[in-house]
A and B are shown apart, each in its own frame.
Chain A
Amino acid sequence: MSLELKTNIPEKNGSGVARGSNAPKMPIYLDYQATTPCDPRVVEAMLPYFTEKFGNPHSRNHQYGWEAEEGVEKARAQVAAIIGADEREVIFTSGATESNNLAIKGVMRFHKDKRNHMITTVTEHKCVLDSARHMEMEGVEVTYLPVQQNGLVDLEKLKAAITPKTALVSIMAVNNEIGVIQPLAEIGKICREHGVYFHTDAAQAVGKIPLDVNAMNIDLLSISGHKIYGPKGIGALFVRRKPRVRLEALIHGGGQERGFRSGTLPTPLCVGLGEACAIAQREMGAEAERLRFLRNRLLEGITKALPEVYVNGDLEQRIPGNINISFAYVEGEGLMMGIKNLSVSSGSACTSASLEPSYVLRALGVEEELAHTSIRFGLGRFTTEQEVDYAVEHVVSAVKRLRELSPLWEMAQEGIDIKSIEWSGH
């Protein structure tokens, strides 16, 4: 069967703003840390496993099963390759959330009788923090390390937090909101020296920065499919074999995936994740350069035209496809409304429906007002220069318009220190 493979991201040529006359008008997608569209090459690789190679990869009795299994195993090797692992160390899961749950709960449940302490940071993804809280309810002691103003962990604080009771350190590779890259190799070295497992949530890092589980002494690493132009519903967990990491399964049953994760492996999704990894590994270098150029163009375009804007998180130790900016003297919801031709996020996708200011930004010490007016721009494989230019124009004019209406901005222009004002109660 022939299928037209395309994304709903506007075509690369054209302004990215003007659309076909009868096409529904879609905003510009700048939310690549929330999710990415499947690369058409990935869908292409998956298709045979929807059609003629549809077998259950665990079927031992016939060709259909063997072909499916072959697809799964090739994909496993592709996933292993992008993080420098052995293919036998890769376990497929339903996504990074499951991987993170499995790593944290699995390791702590296995080890808590002897070592009931784990360390993580306050800026982790919600599913890591929730897993840690879950383990607290099961009697595990959890240290939540603060981060520095740039979003990076303080290695001295990490060292100081490790005790003889510590079984696991879970620190994300790249933050989903501010894109900062944690010093993985240094963290890994510290963990190895202390005989503590090092788990890293690499959902936002795989395919964006080079990763090597051996050079970085990583023992467990979570991967997501849909953050790297693969399908949703698939992820992986790297579980080191030497020295062997022991953990308890979350999903029991047929004993698939070395007993760590039961359930029929979804062949097409595994194949999609594998292909996504292979493409990312091949194109990472050139893509990073292209995205860095676009990201800098976006940032310079905004900062040149607007005063009082602040970048959240370290600018250097950061993936190229992310920038997170707070705009002073505008109001958060107004800003989002003002730029609704851009699909961006004002926080992590998982919490963006709530009006709480981002806990990640608060952890960096960003004031509440500025946290509310922060925008995450996520650039990716299908982002064009025209789209970036349009975004700059759109953001700049929206912020200027909102500031013109803002009495606070007027006061600031007149040199009044707003913090010194004692507001009367109502």
Chain B
Amino acid sequence: MTRQIYMDYNATAPMPPRVIEAVASSLGQVGNPSSVHRFGRLARRAIEGAREAVAQAVGAKPAEILFTSGGSEANNLALKGAGRARILASAVEHDSVLAAVSAVERIPVDRDGIVDLTALDRMLNTDPTPALLSVMLANNETGAIQPIAEVVRVARAHGALVHCDAVQGLGRMAFDLPALDVDFASLSAHKLGGPMGTGALYVRDGMVLQAQIAGGGQERSQRAGTPNLSGIVGFGVVAQQSRDDLQAMERVRELRDRLETGLKRLQPSVRIFADNVARLPNTSCFAVAGLDSETQVIALDLAGIAVSAGSACSSGRVQSSHVLRAMGADPTLSGSAIRVSLGWQNEERDIDEFLTAWGSLLVRHAKSLQTETAA
């Protein structure tokens, strides 16, 4: 069997053994954190320990962290629960932001996917309705990092609240939520090697959200339901580790740079998206006109290499990426984009095998590529 190489960490990341052990051992523990007896108290303690670890990873206070079932729920809770009538989001946000409420106004982005601050200012000027802005920390498809501090400055000048989807940032770039001065921020465990089904919403001290899931009064009455104990415990473990992950990211950055150097060597006309701006160290989204995404992911899968043709969240719908479209990418180019996102398990030889497989793909499609270049 071919060696399997996983390069789709922005879809989900494999769990390190110590996280699996913590999760599996927690699964066997009985106890509802709401129960007052010993089993309940032990469960509660485990959750509060994890809350501290998650808070610490983003510079927040434990009381500012609400656990949710994941990033999508956290985004929905922030956008629906903040009580603002007008919601603006960058055009490259995740679907769970863009679809959270029916009338999200899209803030345009530039060629690299960076939010247009002048346009944002203009949009806020034209309508005095109290607004909530949602701008992601780093894009899931291209890795482009948004200037959140500047977005917040513009927002404050107009009395707008700011939500930041930081799901792709945690463990991949250093950030401190109170320093960024955002009001809300979404986090997810499984993007950095924690368990699926667990996320969190940072709610700045003093802000209160209208619960979207009502019930037993858990999570300071902003998110009801028996908490996902094993998931939260696992989240705590990866959060605790996330500062160290950042150091490991330097190694990942070298791998990513090695990949991109190789891509350019093999095909000088390759377009690497968002390469003029600060990006996550693990993400590379690129395209060669004439070499469509589908062809590439199928051939790479046969070679045992898992990458993505855009976001994993579109649940089977084949459509070109709204992110690349918003960046003004030509449809033929965005239809040729693939995303490589790396993580803790990747090694140099993974990159080399990728380049070998991709290189032979180029050779096989040399004819159609030539036509495309000539045309």
Tell which of A11-19, A45-53, A154-162, A306-314 binds the partner: A45-53
Question: B15 to A250, Cβ gap below 8 A?
Answer: no
State A351–B32 Cα separation when bound (angstroms). 12
Question: A60 to B215, Cβ gap below 8 A?
Answer: no
0/1 string, A263-307, CB within 8 A of B gives 1: 111111100100000000000000000000000000000000000
State A336–B28 Cα separation when bound (angstroms). 26
In the complex where A27-B39, A55-B11, A61-B306 touch, is A50 in contact with B30 (Cβ < 8 A)? no
Question: B11 to A268, Cβ gap below 8 A?
Answer: no
Question: B229 to A232, Cβ gap below 8 A?
Answer: yes
0/1 string, A54-80, CB within 8 A of B gives 1: 111011111111000000000000000
Cβ contacts under 8 Å, B231 to chain A:
232-233, 266, 269
B100 to chain A, nearest CB (A): 5
The answer, among B25, B38, B226, for a CB contact under 8 Å with A343, is B38
State A126–B316 Cα separation when bound (angstroms). 36
Cβ contacts under 8 Å, B300 to chain A:
62
The answer, among B14, B28, B73, for a CB contact under 8 Å with A251, is B73
Tell which of A31-39, A115-123, A181-189 binds the partner: A31-39
State A63–B91 Cα separation when bound (angstroms). 31
Question: B73 to A97, Cβ gap below 8 A?
Answer: no
A374 to chain B, nearest CB (A): 15
Question: B32 to A35, Cβ gap below 8 A?
Answer: yes
Q: Is there a chain A Cβ closer than 8 Å to B147's Cβ?
A: no
Question: A59 to B308, Cβ gap below 8 A?
Answer: yes
Q: Is there a chain A Cβ closer than 8 Å to B76's Cβ?
A: yes
State A27–B30 Cα separation when bound (angstroms). 12
Cβ contacts under 8 Å, A26 to chain B:
38-39
State A9–B11 Cα separation when bound (angstroms). 37
0/1 string, B19-56, CB within 8 A of A gives 1: 01101110111111011111110000000000000000
In the complex where A350-B215, A350-B216 touch, is A251 in contact with B301 (Cβ < 8 A)? no
Q: Which of A26, A94, A126 has most chain B Cβ within 10 Å? A: A94
The answer, among A37, A125, A254, for a CB contact under 8 Å with B215, is A125
A345 to chain B, nearest CB (A): 6
* B: number of interface residues (CB 8 Å): 77
Question: A250 to B76, Cβ gap below 8 A?
Answer: yes
State A40–B8 Cα separation when bound (angstroms). 31
Cβ contacts under 8 Å, A344 to chain B:
37
Q: Is there a chain B Cβ closer than 8 Å to A317's Cβ?
A: no
Question: A252 to B214, Cβ gap below 8 A?
Answer: no
In the complex where A98-B69, A127-B214, A253-B75 touch, is A64 in contact with B6 (Cβ < 8 A)? yes
Tell which of B82-90, B130-138, B189-197, B276-284 binds the partner: B189-197
Question: A231 to B27, Cβ gap below 8 A?
Answer: yes
Q: Which of B34, B94, B307 has most chain A Cβ within 10 Å? A: B34
State A234–B198 Cα separation when bound (angstroms). 10
Q: Is there a chain A Cβ closer than 8 Å to B336's Cβ?
A: no
B186 to chain A, nearest CB (A): 11
Cβ contacts under 8 Å, A350 to chain B:
34, 215-218
Cβ contacts under 8 Å, A97 to chain B:
213, 215-216, 224-226
Mark out the residues of chain B between 184 and 234 whose CB falls within 8 Å of any chain A CB in the assembled complex. Answer: 190, 195-198, 212-218, 224-231
State A29–B306 Cα separation when bound (angstroms). 45
The answer, among B12, B39, B227, for a CB contact under 8 Å with A31, is B39
Closest to A265 in B: B196
Residues of chain A having any CB pair with chain B under 8 Å: 1, 3, 5-9, 26-27, 29, 31, 34-38, 40, 42-43, 46-47, 50-51, 54-56, 58-65, 93-98, 100-101, 125-127, 130-131, 133-134, 224, 226, 231-234, 250-256, 262-269, 272, 340, 343-345, 349-353
**Extra pairs beyond A101-B224, A263-B71 (6, CB < 8 Å):** A9-B30, A31-B39, A37-B29, A50-B20, A54-B13, A252-B96
Residues of chain B having any CB pair with chain A under 8 Å: 4, 6, 8, 11-15, 17, 20-21, 23-25, 27-32, 34-40, 68-73, 75-76, 94-97, 99-101, 190, 195-198, 212-218, 224-231, 297, 300-301, 305-309, 311-317
Enumerate the 5 nearest inter-chain pairs by beta-carbon distance, A residue then B residue, closest first: A233-B228, A127-B215, A253-B96, A266-B197, A350-B216
